[in-house]
A = this chain, B = another copy of it.
Amino acid sequence: MIVQLSKKPKNPIIIEGFPGFGLVGNISTEFLIDHLHAEQIGSIKMEESSPMIAIHDGKVIHPIGIFYDKASNIVIVHVIANAQGIEWKMAEVIAKLATDLQAKEVICLEGVVGAEDDFVRSFYFTNQKNSEKKFESIKIDKLREGIIVGVTGALLLEKDLPVSSIFVETHSAMPDSKAAAKIIEVLDKYLGLDVDYKPLLKQAEEFERRLKSLIAQKNAVADEQEKKRLSYIS
């Protein structure tokens, strides 16, 4: 795994969104990048999963892109690659990035399996007293019982790393723009970003729609690859 960075912001907040339930991590970090007009300052090359890039609006979307918004001093790690099987390594890389940039905090955005009703609940978990106070003051519930897997789980075990995570309930593995909108709402309050809420849900729906189409395309590709493997070259 190789991290390439053209800029090295100092003391930023790092926000990471790995693909997860409802692809909440993808949609919300993508929204943030768009909303903040963040510029790409780097990428992480991860040869452990097979190469896949997305083309969006005629531009290459890296498997793992690193973006930066100077005004808010926020670094966003946007991930479309699959981290399954290399979560420990991935967490190490992000922890190292945080140390190198002397990041104030790493914030993980995560969808979790929730009850299937209309109300979207959200929780936080943090290893920082300060952050705990801030979350309480904006009236977010703390996660008191549960299981956390993947990169976020591994990051929360990093002893000297200030890590907070925002969880939002979602109901399936398909892209869920409503849950992503909710996570942005919590993040906005927590960081005081002053996001204009009106376009948010609409834009998130737009991402959802596009992701679904990509998924369909990806599945078609996978199906064909499977067939091809069967029919041509072993």
Contacts and interface: CB of A to CB of B under 8 A. Distances in A.
Interface of A: 4, 19-21, 23, 43, 45, 47, 49-58, 60, 62-63, 80-82, 84-85, 87-88, 91, 113, 125, 127, 142-151, 153-154, 156-157, 159, 172-174, 210, 213-215, 217-222, 224-225, 227-229, 231-234
Copies held by the complex: 5
Chain A to chain B: the 4 pairs with minimum beta-carbon distance, closest first: A51-B154, A173-B228, A82-B233, A51-B153
Most buried by B among A51, A54, A85, A87: A51
B51 A91 contact: yes
The prevalent SS among residues of A at the interface is mixed
Contacts of A154: 51
A218 B53 contact: no
A58 B143 contact: yes
Contacts of A125: 55
B113 A82 contact: no
B145 A19 contact: no
